[in-house]
Amino acid sequence: MTDPAPDSAHIVPWQYSPAPVPRELANLRSHYRMFLGGEFVDGDGESLTSINPATEEVLAEVSGASASDVDRAVAAARAAFERSWGPMPGSERAKYLFRIARLIQERGRELAVLETLDNGKPIKESRDVDIPTAAAHFFHHAGWADKLDHAGHGANPRPLGVAGQIIPWNFPLLMLARKIAPALACGNTVVLKPAETTPLTALVFAEICEQAGLPAGVVNIVAGADDIGAEIVAHGGVDKIAFTGSTEVGKRIRRTLAGTGRKPTLELGGKGASIVFDDAPIDQAIEGIVGGVFVNQGQVSCAGSRLLVQESIAEELLDKLHSRVATLRLGDPLDANTDVGAINSATRLDRITELTDAGDSEGARRWTSPCPLPDRGFFFAPTVFSDVQQSMRIAREEIFGPVLSVLTFRTPDEAVAKANNTSYGLSAGIWTEKGSRILWAAQRIRAGAVWANTFNRFDPTAPFGGYRESGFGREGGRAGLEAYLDV
């Protein structure tokens, strides 16, 4: 006799005692300053208020940059490029990168708690994924700094000069590392703008640069709103732009840079598909789907936010999926047991609500996890839409929240056609026991990353990037070096 298939009504979630990580580890200060030419200074722009999205309390005031601060930052970066960093042998640059990597590790607990306070993501994500991967980017690129001649980009590749880098709020320190580590390894200097809602770990990273003895002006961090990002993009003294963020802003940046000869790297939005074939190990696939869309509150550009499941197993999979998602613990991001933390801002929460309402009005079937929501803060319960049609907004637009849209298919060709029926092309997952089917599907799916029987695995050695409206250029690995070299 087999056990009846579990459904959400039969599941009693495990009870956990609270396991809060002390917020004091973050060494939070009431005021943070920009890092410009090797000094911490107050900018002339409007200051920013950073809030904890899980409680809506004010965390800190952050000094904001003006256009003239951007000028000063670019001038400092140019001077450092010409006088210290550009001429420095790669083997010397490598030592600084190794030092930075080790300091990120040493200050890892502080950075993880600060990231969780500022961003709202669960501490187990920031502690076990974001911060270690940020350190790994510096370790990896430290190894490249003296081997650029052998990286396959021609003999004697040269740095580009000053790199302007603009990052979003979903992986603040990790995105910073993905941008700064290759830029420095290749001999460029940097002006970086963190997102308006998550500037704190970038400013602590500036302290790490100081601790590592990095020459003044090699890394400059300017906090500010979107107009400061636009200033950096338009600045004539910047030789390269690396941007991670929305497709809409990416297009605007591309237009600004057209004809200037300045090299862009654009890492933009996505609407990834997980394809589950009827021979897939279902429990393993469910873990991957959960990790691919509900972890980090779905605020991952390469989230598998569309699930394509073969019709013959759709009912069984959906039932098991509901049961599993119902066990996810939503709440205090600083609690080590929390699976789903806070949405980063009220604006983001409104956008998720708008799109899920559209799912209702367009006729999809909504299932919401029965987890209780905290009274304060920006939270959204994990949600699964079934009976989704390709024309619906929840199947086409990036929701960037803990929301999964489930569609079905009958044949492998139909699965690939539906996976590719998107203006994006960042990620996809294939779940099947047949190796030949994995290779067949991976060759046909137009996405920068295709995972097989797993999802959302990252490594600094692997290039990452998108097709179509998901971006331009690659970051990471040997391929990612090219973005920072004159080859």
Give residues in contact with ligand NAP (CB under 6 A): 166-170, 193, 195-196, 225-226, 229-230, 233, 244-246, 249, 252-253, 267-270, 301, 398, 400, 426, 466, 471
Specify the 3-state DSSP secondary structure of 73. helix
Q: Which is nearer to ligand NAP, 101 or 233 (CB)?
A: 233
Distance CA 348, CA 328 (A): 21
Cα torsion for 163, 166, 171, 175, to the nearest 10°?
-10
Residue 229 CB, shortest distance to ligand NAP, in Å, is 2
Residue 129 CB, shortest distance to ligand NAP, in Å, is 14
User: 3-state SS of the chain: helix, strand, coil percent to 5?
Assistant: 45, 20, 40
Specify the 3-state DSSP secondary structure of 233. helix
Residue 246 CB, shortest distance to ligand NAP, in Å, is 3
Cα diameter, the chain: 77
Beta bridge partners, 385, equal 366, 405
Nearest to 474 by CA among 188, 180, 141, 178: 178
Q: Which residue is nearest to ligand NAP (CB)?
A: 229
Q: Which is nearer to ligand NAP, 159 or 229 (CB)?
A: 229
Q: Which is nearer to ligand NAP, 168 or 429 (CB)?
A: 168
Q: Which is nearer to ligand NAP, 270 or 291 (CB)?
A: 270
Residue 484 CB, shortest distance to ligand NAP, in Å, is 16
Is residue 248 exposed (0-12), middle (13-18) or buried (19+ Cβ within 10 Å)? Answer: exposed
Q: Which is nearer to ligand NAP, 64 or 187 (CB)?
A: 64
Residue 170 CB, shortest distance to ligand NAP, in Å, is 5
Q: How many CB atoms lie within 10 A of CB 344?
A: 25
CA angle 479/482/483 to nearest 5° reads: 110
Find out whether 119 and 167 touch, Cβ atoms under 8 Å: no
Residue 14 CB, shortest distance to ligand NAP, in Å, is 32
Q: Which is nearer to ligand NAP, 85 or 464 (CB)?
A: 464
